[in-house]
A and B are shown apart, each in its own frame.
Chain A
Amino acid sequence: MQENNLLLQMEHITKRFPGSVALSDAYLHVERGEVHALIGENGAGKSTLIKVLTGVYHYDEGTIQFDGRVGAFQSPQQAQRQGISTIYQEINLVPFRSVTENIFLGREIFRWGLLDWRKMNAEASALLERLHISIDVTKPLNTYNTATQQMVAIARAISFKSKLVIMDEPTSSLNDDEVAILFTVIRQLKEEGVATIFVSHRLDELYAICDGITILRDGLTVDERPINTISKLELVAKMLGKDLGSVQQSGQTSFDASRHQAGEEVVLEVSGLREGRKLQNASVKVRAGEIVGLAGLLGSGRSEVARAVFGADHVDAGKIAINGKEVHFRAPEDAIRAGIGLCSEDRKADGIIPDLSVRENLTLAALPTLTRYGIVDRRQQEAIVDRFIQRLGIKTSGPEQKIRELSGGNQQKVLLARWMCLNPRLLLLDEPTRGIDVGAKSEIQKLVEELAESGMGVLLISSELEEIIEGSDHVVVLRDGITVAELPHKDISQDAIMTAMAHGEGYASTGEAL
């Protein structure tokens, strides 16, 4: 690697947030004209690193050198002027303004002091022509679909004559043809000497377009090398922080899957689920009294499966059956009536009602069963709340305390109790132990175990392989929205799961593993 060929050099980057360290000793090197993949699981620090680079965040320690210039950028505008353009995952353009305006926003072309619309429109069209898109550039951006808007964002980025283009999951809203066009553009840029940082969770895409790869985990860079020297499996192992072929340690969680006995009754059967590009052929089966682990990398469609089953999202195709009967839930309330509960991944956004009390949060889903003529039976309600506060050991000053004042672990217990008090036949748990302290984590794992023993079917989504491995009677692995493996209890191992995450291909729905 020749020193003068390096476009970007980030060394020993540390970024602290109040109460947490987002990056510690992360590094990133990108050569001129290189397409460089940046990958890592949730919370690994990818977005923080990008934001540090583009001047959105100020970092605490480390050095940045870009194009011979040493030092941090003070603002995204400065980064852009120096030749870094960023395309964010959520398109950040102005929906009601025209395509041309969006492309030239902030650096309009003037003629005699007036906006030179003719020239700007012509240049905008020419730029889009490079992306094989011919649209009326004078129409508002929001008259076009998401993929086209994404292309406009890309056109804007390349129009800056940048030296480095950062693409944060640019393909998540594109179909296969559009992805192919995007790749052609990236190769064109490469020929012109423009480098690209490419963030994506689709391993196949990374191998198709990238030259080098940097893997982040827990805020530090764990590997950096040419992509053709690392196998997909190694890549997945690095990302998850596991060693290949190593003997698994047991007892890392409070789970013990050997304790529960799966019943015969199939509580949930999902087959051929499709939803846009997120789910392409997902299938899962859960029996009464068993914990089924749903594994997969970030963006593999795990949460989408749970939300689809719960009636929270609409799907394009596929079959969902509860206790052998096909169902079509229009809203979560239908699913709840059918005996299903869902603890969602994002506790703050989709779980708690911050200003309501522990009591009100805990019984929110149970209210229909606690009311007569619309009036809540306060005594019965309080009895339930007291029972669950005691049973789950929820630390609160009392049932009337606002839930937002509780710790993460205790909030999660309240949300679990929200479903437990309904005694559902199927519980969908999306990352139930994320972001909570070790003690609460272990208590929640024990609790989930108890629920399965009592005959409940549990679908457990977790990014922690230990939880999946030790907790599950059965593991289903998703890859790019496709169920690629179904591992019975005896076949569950770290290597088997990671192999499926890395290489798994769609398989016929015979239930055979790979």
Chain B
Amino acid sequence: MMRLEQRLTALKVPHDLRALGQDYGALIALILLIIFDVIFTKQFHSLITVTNLLVYVTPTLILGVGMTLVIATGGIDISVGSIMGLTGILTYLIFSGKWLGIHNIVVGTIVAMPIALVVATLVGVFNGVLVTRFNVQPIVATLISLITVRGIAEVTVNGFQFAFLSAPIVSWLSGNLFGFLPRQVILMAVIVAIFAWLMRATAFSRYLLSIGGNQSAARLAGVPVTRVLITVYAISGLLAGIAGLAFIAFNSAAYPVTDGLGKELDAIAAVAVGGTPLTGGRATILGTAIGAIFIQLLRQTVVSLNVPDDIASVIIGVLILLAVFLQRPSKA
């Protein structure tokens, strides 16, 4: 009897289109878009456009991974774009010898990256402390960081608008493996894979999902709520730092005023399209990855069809809405 019941419920799922849309909505949308592109645009006529797409999407996607974790706890982190800007300029200032006086560029790079990443993580810890210890709402806490961190990034260069980079890390990161695979893309894939696995295997992942699902119950089940939340914001900060490094490597330049500007919104959109509800309690890292790629490909498609910019934005907005609509929970 029991087994029969199980089989029946297993059978029901593919029949239920709504459930299908909920689980695979982003993937279906992406596949439809790729089919459209293959037929109507020249997007996929060379491998370079595919790798370019992935390079473009790398910073957003890395931010998206951290954002997925934060949103799964029921919070949000809008400071990540500013953190990207700060880590970029910080790295530049150190390995160019302007700070700390290291004039060997290799040594400078080795020193610069960990420092930048530690600073990025500390901003995340600061966010987490505001949210947990001082009960500041996540959007307000990270808004404070968004403004302050961007300000600090601008102050460090005293009004200089940009800094040109030429460092081994830049050429290495933007270089290719086997002649066609950009290392940044590999970095991104590794991060996605690690976090997708962590979200399956660790107790930490269950903790953050239970906090997002029912914080009061989680606390009573012994979940160390404060520690978990601070760690989640710290991870988001760290990933924003890595995204910042990938971004300056791609641009070969650091612009503290504009680097990462608005990127937090791209990341949030990727999370939403990917199927992680903004109410918390559920998370899909792979979904976010698909969501980010979908949005980027959509942009490129619209551009390659020579649609005017203003109309393009409207089309993108509507299609994102459609993707989100596809996967709304069955009990609305």
Contacts and interface: CB of A to CB of B under 8 A. Distances in A.
Most-contacted residue by chain A among B202, B204, B217 (CB, 10 A): B217
A371 interface: yes
A374 B204 contact: yes
A1 interface: no
Contact of A397 (B9, B204, B206, B218): B9
A335 B210 CA distance: 19
A371 B203 contact: yes
Category for how many chain B residues contact A: 20 to 34
A332 interface: yes
A398 B9 CA distance: 10
Nearest to A347: B217
B223 A364 contact: yes
A344 B214 CA distance: 14
A358 to B, nearest CB: 13
B332 interface: no
Interface string B255-290: 000000000000000000000000001100000000
Contact of B216 (A349, A365, A374, A418): A349
A376 B219 CA distance: 19
Contacts of A226: none
A356 B199 CA distance: 13
Contacts of A374: 202-204
A397 B4 CA distance: 10
Interface residues of A, number: 32
Given A353-B214, A353-B281, A371-B202, A312 B209 contact: no
A218 interface: no
A510 B80 CA distance: 61
Contacts of A383: none
Contact of A333 (B9, B216, B224, B281): B224
B224 A356 contact: no
Interface string B213-242: 110111111111000000000000000000
A396 to B, nearest CB: 10
Contacts of B206: 356, 360, 364, 367, 376
Interface string B1-28: 0000110010000000000000000000
B47 interface: no
Interface string A363-384: 0110110110011101000000
A336 interface: yes
A394 to B, nearest CB: 12
Interface string B275-315: 00000011000000000000000000000000000000000
A312 B215 CA distance: 13
Contact of B214 (A312, A354, A368): A354
A355 B282 contact: yes
Contacts of A364: 206, 210, 218, 221-223
Interface string B93-133: 00000000000000000000000000000000000000000
Contacts of B204: 374
Contact of B209 (A336, A350, A353, A368): A353
Contacts of B9: 397
Nearest to A419: B221
Contacts of A376: 201-203, 206
Contacts of B5: 397
Interface string A108-146: 000000000000000000000000000000000000000
B207 interface: yes
A331 interface: yes
A354 B280 CA distance: 11
A356 B213 contact: yes
A361 to B, nearest CB: 8
Nearest to B205: A376
A398 B217 contact: no
Contacts of B218: 353, 364
A349 B216 CA distance: 7
A465 B19 CA distance: 46
A418 B207 CA distance: 15
Given A354-B214, A355-B213, A360-B210, 10 more contacts: A344-B217, A344-B220, A350-B214, A351-B220, A354-B213, A355-B281, A364-B221, A365-B222, A367-B207, A378-B201
Interface of A: 310, 312, 331-333, 335-337, 342, 344, 349-356, 360, 364-365, 367-368, 370-371, 374-376, 378, 397-398, 418
Q: Which 7 A-B pairs have the closest CB atoms?
A: A353-B213, A336-B222, A367-B203, A333-B222, A355-B281, A353-B210, A364-B221
12 contacts: A332-B219, A337-B222, A364-B210, A364-B221, A364-B222, A365-B221, A374-B202, A374-B203, A375-B201, A376-B201, A397-B9, A418-B221
